[in-house]
Structure formats: C-alpha cells, structure tokens
Amino acid sequence: MKLKYGKIIFVSTVVLLMSTLWSCSTFNSLFYVENKYFTPKERGIVDDLALSIDFRRGYDNKIELNYVYAAGKFSQKEYWSRKHLFVQAIRKYKKSTCLGILKKIYQMEKKATIDMKKYKEEEEWDNYTYISKYIIPEIKQFIAIFEYSMKKVWPRSSEEIKAEKLKAEEDALKQ
C-alpha cells in the first residue's frame, strides 16, 4: 500500500512537471516576440564589442526598450582602463559597419531619453527612475567608449560620427 502511494506521487509529480514545462515552451513559442532591433549579424557584432569591456546587450519587454549595460562591477575609471580591449575588438570590423552600429546605439539612447521624459510626464516613477538612473548612464558610457575607439582606430572619423549622431537624433524624433 505504501509503495502504491509513492508511485502515485512520483507519477503525479512527473506529469505535473512535464505539463508545466510544456506550457512554458508553448507559451513562449506562441507569444514571445523576438526583438529585431539589430539584425542577427549586428547582434553578433554588438555582443562582441560589448563583451570586450564586460557590457551586455539587453531588451526590456515590459517597456519595449533596447539597451546596453555594464555587466561587471567596475567603476567608470576601471571601464575606461579597459578601452584598449574595445579598440582591439573594433579593429575586426569595417568602419562603415561600426558607424551603422553606433548610429543604432545613439538611437537607443535617444529612445530611452524620450521614454524617460514620457514616464516623468505620466508620473510613472518606477519606469522613469529605472531609465534615468540605470539605463541611460550606461548607454552613454558605452557610447563614449565606442566613440573613443572609433577615433583611435580611424582618426579621421570624427565628422562621420557627428553625422551619424545627428541622423540618429532626427530618426528618433520621427518615431
């Protein structure tokens, strides 16, 4: 009798576990919308560049916001001491490719700024604080290291960088 109840509990647990796992995978396959801000190739490049200084790429489904963030526990000074690693990573790619990615990072920062202002006006303080204190400062830090590295690898790229920044601002205002 005791063994019978043990089997029933075991089988019930297995069935419950399998149905839960099946439900999660079914839910994700039916309702998960893949973020397509970056193409697969661009995602690979952004991930490679970000990893070089211990940053990562992220997306918040709840507020529909792309971002890059510092994954390590380094001070700003320590991140800047790692900029030579970003320079090494950026040398693997064409200047035009890097400019295109930088433009998308600028757009990411502009969208975050627009959303932050919207949340402030709507008095949604959780989202406002999240974006203003965590998201935007880290995107700006990533941009600064990206710009520095571009200028280091391609010394005459300053004007092109400025042009991409202006295009990104214009594009963000159109959205």
**Per-residue pLDDT tens over the stretch 51-81:** 999 999 999 999 999 999 999 887 878 878 8
Q: Any idea which of 3-7, 138-142, 147-151 has the lowest mean pLDDT? A: 3-7
- pLDDT of residue 15 exceeding 80, the answer is no
Give the residue, 30 or 66, on which the prediction is more confident.
66
- Span 98-109, average pLDDT: 96
CB 128 within 8 A of CB 119: yes
Residue ranges with strand state E in the chain = 55-60, 65-70
Give the residue, 20 or 140, on which the prediction is more confident.
140
**What is residue 24's predicted lDDT score, i.e. its pLDDT?**
44
- pLDDT of residue 1 exceeding 90, the answer is no
DSSP state of 7: H
